[in-house]
Amino acid sequence: MSTGSSTSESSGGDRRTVFLLAHTGRPAAVRSAELVVLGLLRSGIGVRVLEAEAADLPLPAAVERVPEGCADALDGCELLVVLGGDGTLLRGSEFSRASGVPMLGVNLGRVGFLAEAERDDLDKVVDRVVTRAYEVEERMTLDVTVYQNGDVLHRDWALNEAAVQKVSPERMLEVVIAVNGRPVTGFGCDGVICATPTGSTAYAFSAGGPVVWPEVEALLMVPIGAHALFAKPLVTTPESVLAVEVEPHTPDGVLWCDGRRTVSLPAGARVEVRRGAVPVRLARLHHASFTDRLVAKFALPVSGWRGAPH
């Protein structure tokens, strides 16, 4: 992870514009979006939304609307504000990565590790956007390639994780895992997760993987329900190439990237995962340590700590 300057980057013109993405299926998101939009407009900042979401949001006529598939939907925007849970934030990361526009997440769900603010912070969010009082940091992504008999079947990317999983609940997936072209071990399992430090608190965490601080540059490989003596989580350098090969005699598998994009894996397919060429940029409002964020998000018991106050 690398950290940007202490102020945001404007769109380069006199007119400042913020793109708003919301989970319109949640009443809380609709109310929050209305508050954010009105606060920004009052401060002279333009707001842009997707046409498909505009119909579900109580928006003034001044709000700009663009179609979902518009390649330049975020052109000229200085910030992408996302209101919703983890799924909406991951959707926002797709827009952010494609455009290079920093994403500021407001958590309306449960955990929301990608979010920088909670629903009670909306006034603060608007104020920080208006005054450009936020920092921008880059988070590592994954580039994912699926091969079959040496041919490329599919290319994808992920911010959290690329997960190779079984399809049939009654049969295990037989795989061999490798690092930098060298096989490590093989086993039957429910799947294997390749994750970034950002994704270490997501699916990889649920599968028993380690929590990795975002400042640490590393790649993780975490087996899911493996039937093997040696099937521990692995942490490698960010320059490593992780591979998961689906054995030829095993049932077909499936690849999920961030739980949003999926592709079938025929028997014999190999999934290679490496550090992504394009990071996702996140806008940060707080200087709180990741330790404090971890404690807050998981409501960890720390009342017995008697260390020196800071």
Q: Which residues are catalytic?
A: 86
Task: Report the C-alpha gap between 222 and 162 in whole angstroms.
Answer: 11
Class of residue 78 by CB neighbours under 10 A (exposed 0-12, middle 13-18, buried 19+): buried
Tokens of 268: 């014999």
Task: Report the C-alpha gap between 194 and 271 in whole angstroms.
Answer: 10
Which string of b and e fits 113-140 if b means at least 16 CB within 10 Å? Answer: bbbbbebebbeebbebbbeeebbbbebb
Q: 143 has which bridge partners?
A: 157, 274
Q: 52 has which bridge partners?
A: none
DSSP-based three-state secondary structure for 299? coil
Give the 3-state secondary structure of 62-115.
CCEEECCCCCCCCCCCCEEEEEECHHHHHHHHHHHHHHCCCEEEEECCCCCCCC
Backbone angles phi and psi of 81, in degrees to 5 = -100, 125
Helix axes 27-42, 122-131, angle to 10 degrees: 30
User: Can you list the positions of beta strands (E) in 114-150?
Assistant: 117-118, 135-139, 142-148
**Which of 275, 295, 133 lies closest to 198, judged by CA?**
275
